[in-house]
C-alpha cells in the first residue's frame, strides 16, 4: 500500500513537471521561430555568404525579426529550392539562371520562375589559367573546370564558351579542389562566377597563375555586361596599369511565392520594410563594397517584383531613388581611397579620381538601362 502511494505521488509529480515543461518548450519554440526568414546563398568561394551575413545583422532585432542564411548547392538548385523546398523563403541568384532553367525545361514554359525583391550586385566571370595559356582561344578542346553542374559558374561558363565559339571539355570539381588540378597541369583553366574581390581568388599568391581576358560582344547577349579586374581587386594576379577585361552578370534577391502563406508572407513584408529602410547603412565603411552597386529600384525584365517590395517602392519613391550625384561622388571617392589604402597604394590624384567617377557613372547608367 505504501509503495503504491509513493508511486502515485511520484507519478503526480512527473505529470506536474511535464505539465509545466511542455508549455514552456512550446512557448520557446514559438518565440524562436517568430519572424524568421530563410535565405539560401551560394558557397564560400563567392561573396553571397558574406552578403547574407550582413543582411542578417541588419534584419535581426532579437525578438520579432530574424534572417537565417543557408548555404545552398548552386544557382539552379537554389532556384528549384526556392520553388519547391519547404522553409526556403529567399535566395541570391544570378540573373541568367532563369533563362537556363527555361531553356532546359526544368520549369514549365508558362512559369515565370520566381519573384524578386531587388537587383543586387554584379558577379564577375573569373577565368584562371597558367601563364602558358595566353588567351581564351588557347583553351579550345582542353579541360576547364566550371564547378558543380547547375552552379552559377557552370551556367555562365557554358553560355560564354558557346558564344565565343571555343569548344572546351568541362569538369565539375568544386573550384577549391580544382585549383590543385590546375597547378598540376591536369586541367587548363578554372572558371568562377563571383563578385570581386572573390575570397578564393583574392587568397591566391601564385605567380604561375593569371586571369584571362574575356573578349565579349554585349550585343550578342544583353544579360552580360563588360567589366574588368584591376590590381586593386587582385594585387597578386593583375599588374598595375594592366587591367584584365571580363564580363559580369547581375545577381538578384529572389523570393518564393508566399502570398497565400500568411505568416511567411508577413515575415517577408517585414524583411522588405527593414531592408529597404535601412539600406543606406549597408553603404557605410565596414560592409562589403558590392553594396554600392545595388539599386533597389532597378527593374529586371523577365522577373516579377514581389508585391510587398513594389508597394514599398511606390510609397517611398524618393528614398528608393538613392543618393544624389554629389553624394554618390563622395561615396565613390571614399571607396577609391579605402581600396588603394588597403592595397598599399598612394592616394589617387583628384583629377584622375574625377575621370574615373565619370566612367563609373557612364557604366552605372548602362546598368540601369
Query: How far does the chain reach from its first CA to its final CA, in angstroms?
Result: 87
Residue 335 pLDDT > 60, yes or no?
yes
Asked if 231 contacts 258 with a C-beta cutoff of 8 angstroms, the reply is no
pLDDT at 188: 95
Residue 199 pLDDT > 50, yes or no?
yes
pLDDT at 323: 60
Q: Residue written as cell 588567351?
A: 135
* CA gap 146, 76 in Å, rounded: 14
Residue 367 pLDDT > 80, yes or no?
no
HSE-CB at 149 with a 13 A cutoff on CA atoms is 1
Q: What angle do helix axes 75-84 and 152-164 make, rounded to 10 degrees?
A: 130
At 110-126, the pLDDT tens digits run: 565 578 999 999 999 99
Grid cell digits, residue 80: 528549384
pLDDT at 202: 87
At 123-159, the pLDDT tens digits run: 999 999 998 999 999 999 999 999 999 999 999 999 9
Please provide the DSSP assignment of 262-325 as one string: HHHHHHHHHHHHHHHHTGGGGGSTTS-GGGGG--TT---TT-EE-HHHHHHHHHTHHHHT---H
Report the pLDDT averaged over residues 65-93.
91
pLDDT at 103: 82
The model's confidence at residue 329, banded by pLDDT at 50, 70 and 90, is confident
Residue 94 pLDDT > 50, yes or no?
yes
| More confident: 32 or 39 | 39
Facing residues of 116 across strands?
A: 254, 305
Residue 24 pLDDT > 50, yes or no?
no
pLDDT at 243: 92
Residue 26 pLDDT > 50, yes or no?
no
Length of the chain: 369
Report the pLDDT averaged over residues 35-63.
90
pLDDT at 112: 55
Q: Of 239, 217, 218, whose CA–CA distance to 229 is shortest?
A: 239
pLDDT at 358: 77
Q: Of 158, 121, 114, whose CA–CA distance to 309 is shortest?
A: 114
Report the pLDDT averaged over residues 244-272.
92
Asked if 187 contacts 171 with a C-beta cutoff of 8 angstroms, the reply is yes
Alpha-carbon distance values, 332 to 80, 115, 335 (Å): 37, 31, 5
Report the pLDDT averaged over residues 55-61.
93
Asked if 29 contacts 176 with a C-beta cutoff of 8 angstroms, the reply is no
The model's confidence at residue 345, banded by pLDDT at 50, 70 and 90, is confident
Report the pLDDT averaged over residues 233-239.
87
Read off φ and ψ for residue 238, nearest 5 degrees.
-120, 130
Report the pLDDT averaged over residues 312-327.
71
Q: Max Cα separation, the chain?
A: 99
pLDDT at 330: 72
pLDDT at 259: 85
Asked if 267 contacts 33 with a C-beta cutoff of 8 angstroms, the reply is no
pLDDT at 369: 41
The model's confidence at residue 12, banded by pLDDT at 50, 70 and 90, is low
Grid cell digits, residue 343: 592595397
At 201-234, the pLDDT tens digits run: 988 877 789 999 998 776 567 788 899 999 889 9
Grid cell digits, residue 114: 520566381
Tabulate helix, strand, coil % of the chain (nearest 5). Answer: 45, 20, 35
Residue 29 pLDDT > 70, yes or no?
no
Amino acid at each position: 500500500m505504501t509503495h503504491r502511494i509513493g508511486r502515485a505521488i511520484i507519478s503526480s509529480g512527473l505529470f506536474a513537471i511535464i505539465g509545466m515543461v511542455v508549455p514552456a518548450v512550446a512557448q520557446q519554440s514559438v518565440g524562436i521561430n517568430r519572424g524568421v526568414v530563410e535565405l539560401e546563398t551560394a558557397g564560400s568561394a563567392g561573396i553571397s555568404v558574406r552578403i547574407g551575413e550582413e543582411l542578417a545583422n541588419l534584419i535581426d532585432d532579437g525578438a520579432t525579426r530574424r534572417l537565417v542564411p543557408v548555404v545552398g548547392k548552386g544557382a539552379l538548385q537554389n532556384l528549384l529550392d526556392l520553388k519547391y523546398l519547404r522553409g526556403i523563403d529567399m535566395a541570391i541568384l544570378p540573373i541568367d539562371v532563369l533563362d537556363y532553367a527555361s531553356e532546359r525545361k526544368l520549369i514549365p514554359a508558362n512559369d515565370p520562375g520566381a519573384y524578386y525583391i531587388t537587383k543586387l550586385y554584379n558577379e564577375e566571370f573569373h577565368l584562371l589559367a597558367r601563364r602558358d595559356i595566353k588567351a581564351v582561344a588557347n583553351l579550345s578542346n582542353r579541360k576547364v573546370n566550371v564547378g558543380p553542374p547547375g552552379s552559377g559558374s557552370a551556367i555562365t561558363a557554358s553560355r560564354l564558351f558557346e558564344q565565343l565559339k571555343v569548344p572546351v571539355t568541362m569538369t565539375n570539381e568544386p573550384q577549391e579542389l580544382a585549383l590543385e588540378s590546375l597547378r598540376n597541369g591536369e586541367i587548363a583553366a578554372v572558371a568562377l562566377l563571383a563578385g570581386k574581390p572573390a575570397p578564393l581568388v583574392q587568397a591566391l599568391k601564385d605567380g604561375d597563375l593569371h586571369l584571362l581576358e574575356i573578349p565579349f560582344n554585349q550585343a550578342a547577349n544583353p544579360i552580360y555586361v563588360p567589366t574588368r579586374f584591376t590590381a586593386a581587386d587582385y594585387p597578386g594576379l593583375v599588374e598595375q596599369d594592366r587591367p584584365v577585361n571580363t564580363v559580369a552578370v547581375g545577381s538578384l534577391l529572389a523570393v518564393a511565392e508566399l502570398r497565400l502563406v500568411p505568416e511567411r508572407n508577413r515575415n517577408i513584408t517585414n524583411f522588405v520594410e527593414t531592408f529597404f529602410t535601412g539600406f543606406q547603412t549597408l553603404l557605410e565603411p565596414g560592409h562589403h563594397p558590392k553594396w554600392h552597386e545595388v539599386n533597389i529600384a532597378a527593374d529586371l525584365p523577365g522577373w516579377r517584383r514581389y508585391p510587398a517590395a513594389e508597394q514599398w517602392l511606390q510609397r517611398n519613391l524618393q528614398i528608393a531613388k538613392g543618393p544624389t550625384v554629389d553624394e554618390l561622388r563622395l561615396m565613390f571617392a571614399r571607396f577609391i581611397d579605402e581600396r588603394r589604402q588597403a592595397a598599399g597604394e598612394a592616394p589617387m590624384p583628384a583629377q584622375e579620381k574625377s575621370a574615373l567617377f565619370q566612367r563609373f557613372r557612364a557604366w552605372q547608367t548602362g546598368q540601369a538601362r
